[in-house]
Structure 1
Amino acid sequence: MSDLIPGPETWNAATLVPLPVLVPLFAAGLTLALRRYANVQRTISVTALTITTLASAALMFFADAGPVVVDVGGWAAPVGVNLVADRLSALMLTVSGVMLLCVLLYSLGQGVPEGDDLDGGSRVGETIPVAIFHPTYLVLAAGVANAFLTGDLFNLYVGFEILLAASAILLTLGGTAERIRAGSMYVIVTLMSSLVFLAAIALVYAATGTVNMAQLAERLPEIDPTVRTALQLLLLLAFGIKAAVFPLSFWLPDSYPTAPAPVTAVFAGLLTKIGVYAMLRTQVLLFPDDPAVDRLLMVVALLTMVIGIFGAVAQNDVKRLLSFTLVSHIGFMVFGVALASQAGTAAAIFYVVHHISVQTALFLVVGLVEFRGGSTSLDRLGGLARLAPGLAVLFFVPALNLAGIPPLSGFLGKVGLLTEGVRDGSGLAWALVIGSVVTSLLTLYAVVKAWNKAFWQDAPDDVPEDVRLPRGMVLPAGALIAFGLAITVAAGPLYGYAERAAESSMDGTTYVDAVFPDGSDRGTGKSDEITDDATGDDS
């Protein structure tokens, strides 16, 4: 934060920046201490995530006027760690806050924290360690916020490790053999990604003498181009594993479907997007001009799209089907990053926002399908359109949005990407345009197949007629679907915000000047106000 405080509005904005990290962490400690009081745990968790979401929404407003920076502990960058709320990070925070809150409410309705229903919605429960759900979920929320806000590569690594610890626990809730196996695979792959990322950070520091992203934006162009490209590729490898791009996505379809529905929804809707966010942030800020790497990303995006959707078409389990569509649609986001233009970046940002809400909502609805039909296998489902017509609507709307049917937000995001791909005009860009259209058509085919089998084919004999869906699960899922529709309704202003986010992200000077307001690369220790008090120097 600057040594000068221009006014109360700026001061209020700065005080909001740490809240999305601190509030969930503080609440996690409280819920762990009060682990014997389930009702109190629920109240604390919901309150904490509500405060976090409101603070993030307020940061969206303040960040639209310029990045808001806080030096943690009063230590100025680059020695200290700073949190930077710009348009991009504030937008990601707000969307993730809404998603995390809706999923928490859904889990309370399902009974996961109490152990009433662990099988992702089935009516056969298991005993789970109930005290750990709330603190672990809140730590996950803090890790997400830290990853979005940090202006320091090493602190980004810390955020990823927080996510790893929390997500490994959530993924193995209940301790079944299937979940332990899936959790082990997830932990191994994520640890491999973390080791690659840590090695990249060490090499970046060795080459530049800093891990502060604002300072790196100025120093990286000055080093040897071969070294710079090697560092870029190493970071992309680490983030690519976390984002589940091809061929680094092999772990995802086996890991996500085994967890309870709320956990799967969080993982599918958010965790992979943090990898995409890290890729987007570093590409536009640290490595803005590297056509060779951009072409490589285009190839990766195309393969991720096509191979992912072919995997989805081949599935006969709705959870695995959606897991493969998740992999496939990561390719759309990488497409926008690879275009390396303001319009492409804006389309990628908008598509990330759309996909977080839609993919999360679909996994929550699949949890309801499993609760009502007793399975996620399409061979064992049927007749749900007659047995639960409301559930049919809840599945139908986000499924069409995922496929990109106009005028929904998925269509608008894809139009932005395709338009910029055509404008780019290169052979790879045209291949991606064609691949995007094919992927969208196959996505429609996959979700229509799931719709027909689950809702319209004859119901199996063992599907009961009198099961009622818990309101506590239906309402949060419906709220998230409504949020996705609100993105469509407000697509004009939201897309404009994404364009401004892309513009400020690609203009590195905006970010650097916010972190070093009195001249870039000048931070040397304690923040200016403390140094001035100690030395009397007003410079």
Structure 2
Amino acid sequence: MAGSSQSVDLALAMNVLPVPAGDWLVVAPSLITILGGSLCLMLRKNTDLQPKLGIGFLALLVLANVGLLIRVLDTGMITMVMGSWLPPFGIAFTVDTLGATLSLIGSVVAFCAGVYGAATVDNTGRRYGFYPFLLLLMTGVCGAFLTGDVFNLYVWFEVLLISSYGLLVLGNDRIQLDGAVKYGVLNLVGTNLFLIATGLLYGIFGTLNMADIAMKVSDLENPASGTLATVAALYFLAFAMKAAAFPVNFWLPASYHTPNVVVSAVFAGLLTKVGVYALIRVLVMILPASRGYLADVISVVAIATLMTGAFGALAQSEVRRLLGYLVIAGIGAMLAGVAVGSVLAMSGAIFYAVHSIIVMTALYMAAGVMSMMGGSSDLRRLGGLYQQNAAFAGVFLVLGFAVSGLPPFSGFWPKVILVDAAFQDGRAWLGAAILVSGFLTTVAMGRVWIYAFWRGGPEGTPDGQSVSGMPGEPVQLAGAAMWLPLGILTALVVYIGLQPEWMLELSTQGASGVVNPFGYLRSVFGGEG
């Protein structure tokens, strides 16, 4: 009543306690990238300043994510709600080990891309927004990894997709526009399915807070009802499109080879992994019974994706198209973990996601160096790169072993975990598919190394002739801005392979938090979950 002096207990609806200083790291990635992207956009005509600003803000992003992961490991999951409204009324950022780890790895890859772009993006690309788009892309990527609300997961997807369209057409070549149309149409369909499924989810539960939905689903007498299974199937199709899973994966090899190579590297490392992350968060954590209902379907899709990627890579002579199929094969391995759904399987899927983010970004960067040294990305026109730079040949061989899942590099451990989890779950055929895909990937990467590095010249020329087939033609050398990020990522591949314990610990913590989300619920609502 107007003029009433009766006090209102805001603690029933709002968080009236001050936010601990360390918890502000939850929103720091979004604030840094939005501010950095805006500043780079305002100063876009200063092409000499663009790399310095972009790389500086990306370095800050890495530091913020390092601090966030340390904070989560030290204090446990962190939840911040906009406007101080208590969940489920306020829009929540909820950060667990899974989200913090992927956000950190993503920011490291973006920093490396920013440095690499200083050498490969010309003044026109800088003027038309490479660094603003890259920073705003990371706004969406980090936001998706850190949000605790399904609708805001959709919003962050839109932010990263809008930025990715800008990066994809940067340069305005006809082939880029063609690739952008294919990329855009499929992602538009996936986005609409995502939104429809989210609307249905809200209609069922009256909330889109992930923790609130997870609690309400666990209280249902039939959590695998037809209605929820339908919603889960819609989410699976939407995220499968975004992750480039079979049979909706044809847009990826048709578009990822078209933009600047550093843009391809960022896309291959990050964008499909956000789709897999969303699939893990929604199906495994929020709708686990429906995931179990769809497990056989997901297994079939995982096997088809593994085989499509591996055989597609064998059929390619253009290096970036070949790498696009290897991205698809990696998605199949992660879907295998989702199909099994155990803590062990999810640990393998998370570990594989981290590995794939690093190694696929590095391989695309290596493809850029190959193209610069050899004058082409076509295996038929490459050769003799070992004689030009033996150290680079060794780097590419390490990355080839890693993406194939061979020891002692980063890809070996998650594949071992995924195969073990599949056999434990009675899905031997799924484990066998992972092994066969790894063998075919080894053959595909061996073919690249033999053609581009080991033989002395390109197809149709005597060994020992210049790599372009024209004796005496000068070879363009890659600069330090290309070697440094490639070296950082390759070092990570080797370090994770030789010292996997810390990554195993992080992936196991992340998997436990998703499969058994009691800590997640406690972080959002307090109490004992």
Shorter-chain TM-score above 0.5: yes
What's 2:48 paired with? 39
Q: How far, CA to CA, are the matches of 1:39 and 1:67 in structure 2?
A: 41
Asked whether the 8 Å contact 2:496–2:503 carries over to 1, the reply is yes
Q: CA deviation at 1:39?
A: 3.2
Find the partner of 2:479 among 460, 470, 488.
470
Q: CA deviation at 1:331?
A: 0.7
Question: SS at 1:35's partner residue?
Answer: coil
Q: Which moved more, 1:272-281 or 1:452-461?
A: 452-461
What's 1:29 paired with? 38
1:406-459 deviation line (CA, Å, top 9, x unaligned): 12121111111111111112xxx1111111111111000000001111112232
Q: CA deviation at 1:321?
A: 0.8
Q: Does 1:281 align with 2:281?
A: yes
1:243-276 deviation line (CA, Å, top 9, x unaligned): 1110110110001001111000000011000000
Find the partner of 2:450 among 452, 459, 467.
452
Find the partner of 2:77 among 67, 73, 76.
67
Q: How far, CA to CA, are the matches of 1:329 and 1:91 in structure 2?
A: 19
Amino acid at match of 1:30: L
Question: SS at 1:258's partner residue?
Answer: coil
What's 2:28 paired with? 19
Q: CA deviation at 1:404?
A: 1.1
Distance 1:78 1:223, change over 3 A: farther
Amino acid at match of 2:384: G
What's 1:408 paired with? 409
What's 2:516 paired with? 507
1:495-518 deviation line (CA, Å, top 9, x unaligned): 012111111222222111111125
Amino acid at match of 2:469: D
What's 2:379 paired with? 378
Amino acid at match of 1:473: M
Gap regions ≥5 residues in structure 2: 1-13, 458-467
How many residues end up aligned between the 2 structures? 500
Q: Which has the bigger relative contact order, CA under 8 A and spacing at least 6? A: 1
Q: CA deviation at 1:2?
A: 5.6
Q: How far, CA to CA, are the matches of 1:248 and 1:223 in structure 2?
A: 34
Asked whether the 8 Å contact 1:34–1:41 carries over to 2, the reply is yes
Find the partner of 1:84 among 94, 97, 115.
94
Q: How far, CA to CA, are the matches of 1:474 and 1:497 in structure 2?
A: 29
What's 2:461 paired with? none
Q: How far, CA to CA, are the matches of 2:413 and 2:295 in structure 1?
A: 23
Amino acid at match of 1:309: A
What's 1:174 paired with? 171
Question: SS at 1:289's partner residue?
Answer: helix
Amino acid at match of 2:93: L
Q: Which moved more, 1:336-345 or 1:388-397?
A: 388-397
Question: SS at 2:411's partner residue?
Answer: helix
Question: SS at 1:70's partner residue?
Answer: strand
Q: Which moved more, 1:241-250 or 1:467-476?
A: 467-476
Asked whether the 8 Å contact 2:47–2:126 carries over to 1, the reply is no
State percent identity of aligned pairs: 35
Amino acid at match of 2:150: L
What's 2:463 paired with? none
Asked whether the 8 Å contact 1:88–1:498 carries over to 2, the reply is yes
What's 2:10 paired with? none
TM-score using structure 2 length: 0.91
Q: How far, CA to CA, are the matches of 2:50 and 2:489 in structure 1?
A: 23
Q: How far, CA to CA, are the matches of 1:35 and 1:169 in structure 2?
A: 14
Q: How far, CA to CA, are the matches of 1:275 and 1:228 in structure 2?
A: 20
Q: Does 1:55 align with 2:58?
A: no
Asked whether the 8 Å contact 1:387–1:465 carries over to 2, the reply is no
Q: How far, CA to CA, are the matches of 2:418 and 2:353 in structure 1?
A: 12
Gap regions ≥5 residues in structure 1: 116-127, 521-539
Asked whether the 8 Å contact 1:71–1:77 carries over to 2, the reply is yes
What's 1:195 paired with? 192
Instruction: Give the root-mean-square deviation of aligned CA atoms.
Output: 1.7
1:35-64 deviation line (CA, Å, top 9, x unaligned): 222233222211211111111112112212
What's 2:118 paired with? 108
1:157-204 deviation line (CA, Å, top 9, x unaligned): 111111111101101111111100100111111111110101111111
1:83-141 deviation line (CA, Å, top 9, x unaligned): 1111000000110011000011001022x0524xxxxxxxxxxxx46241111111001
Amino acid at match of 2:196: A
Distance 1:402 1:129, change over 3 A: closer
Q: How far, CA to CA, are the matches of 1:445 and 1:236 in structure 2?
A: 31
Q: CA deviation at 1:11?
A: 1.6
Q: Does 1:265 align with 2:265?
A: yes
TM-score using structure 1 length: 0.90
Q: How far, CA to CA, are the matches of 1:218 and 1:487 in structure 2?
A: 36
Question: SS at 2:294's partner residue?
Answer: helix
Q: Does 1:212 align with 2:225?
A: no
Asked whether the 8 Å contact 1:143–1:160 carries over to 2, the reply is yes
Question: SS at 2:379's partner residue?
Answer: coil
What's 1:434 paired with? 432
Distance 1:74 1:139, change over 3 A: same
Q: How far, CA to CA, are the matches of 1:466 and 1:201 in structure 2?
A: 53
Asked whether the 8 Å contact 1:253–1:324 carries over to 2, the reply is yes
Q: CA deviation at 1:78?
A: 1.8
Q: How far, CA to CA, are the matches of 1:138 and 1:455 in structure 2?
A: 35
Distance 1:185 1:234, change over 3 A: same
Q: How far, CA to CA, are the matches of 1:48 and 1:288 in structure 2?
A: 38
1:216-260 deviation line (CA, Å, top 9, x unaligned): 102234286111111111111111111111011011000100111
